[in-house]
Amino acid sequence: MAWLTLIADTDAEHAEALSEALLDRGALSVDLLDADADTPDEQAIFGEPGEPPPGVWQHNRISALFDNDMDVVGILQGAATSVGLDNVPVYRIETLEDDDWVRLTQSQFEPIPISPRLWIVPTWHTPSDPAAINIVLDPGLAFGTGSHPTTRLCLRWLDSHMAKGVSVLDYGCGSGILAIAALKLGASFAVGVDVDKQAVIASRDNALANHVSAVEFFLPDAAPKAEYDLVVANILTNPLRMLAPLLAGATKQGGNIVLSGILQEQAEDVMAIYGEWFDLAEPVFEDGWSCLSGRKR
């Protein structure tokens, strides 16, 4: 059996209503994504302490799944009218063939070598090197599986530079991978913070799966107010700009900071901001992404 996937772009005003209207008219599922993802116009939607919860993107891409006998165009026209759109959004329709989706998804995620001694290993794989430091992590609802360049850049920094016995703050922890890696590499304890409740839950589950206990995960307002030997933040440029005073304040004098989620062309701008508090090393780049690091004066 095959399915039909409707992909349509719309604005922030109509995105959620149009998604609901498609579900009401027979869509099996609907995803809402940033239409500008992986471009310089990518928009972070986040909520920090004291701010309202995240909203939706300015340019939204709706992906809706339908049975293959549905009149998808007619459904989209009706949904658009019902939410007050004068014109049908720009759209395309793709055919999604039937397959063993579990096996297909798993086949896309092989063990990832970060360094000769550090690997990311999905639960359905046997570690390639049982003697290595193997972080057990499956793709899930939270960002951070080791497959993205920004995560690899941060992991390589930890593998090469982190001192034993340090305290670590992983701000924007996602799956918890950086906090877990830090503990396996010798940190004394770690704290992870994320604005997404699901990320906090996923991080706690991943810590249990990796048998690390000296770690706690929090939403921002519940996080302890403390200073750490090492602060790691793998998020995006806009929140990194806004969070600079907070992250600098969470770093001990003489401590280190590691920042990623920054496009290569944005590195100098972020370095100029964090240079107020830190002596920064030369940035490291991979596939158009940056990793910045420095020591607090």
Q: Which CATH superfamily is domain 106-296 in?
A: Vaccinia Virus protein VP39 (3.40.50.150)
Domain boundaries defined on the chain: 3-98, 106-296
pLDDT at 127: 77
pLDDT at 145: 64
Are residues 187 and 231 in contact, defined by beta-carbon separation less than 8 angstroms?
no
Give first-to-last CA distance, the chain, whole Å: 62
Tokens of residue 200, six digits: 């906090």
- In this prediction, the residues of the chain whose per-residue pLDDT falls under 70 are 1, 35-57, 98-109, 139-146
Residue 157's contacts (CB-CB under 8 Å, 6 or more residues apart) are 258, 284, 291, 293
Q: Locate all alpha helices (DSSP H) within 85-138, ordered by sequence.
A: 101-107
What pLDDT, in 10s, does the model give residues 172-219?
999 999 999 999 999 999 999 999 998 899 999 999 999 999 999 999
Are residues 251 and 260 in contact, defined by beta-carbon separation less than 8 angstroms?
no
Interatomic CA distance for residues 88 and 121, integer angstroms? 44
pLDDT at 50: 46
Distance of CA 24 to the CA centre of its chain: 30
Q: Which CATH number fits domain 3-98: 3.40.50.80, 3.40.190.80, 3.30.70.260, 3.90.1150.10?
A: 3.30.70.260
pLDDT at 143: 60
Interatomic CA distance for residues 235 and 215, integer angstroms? 20
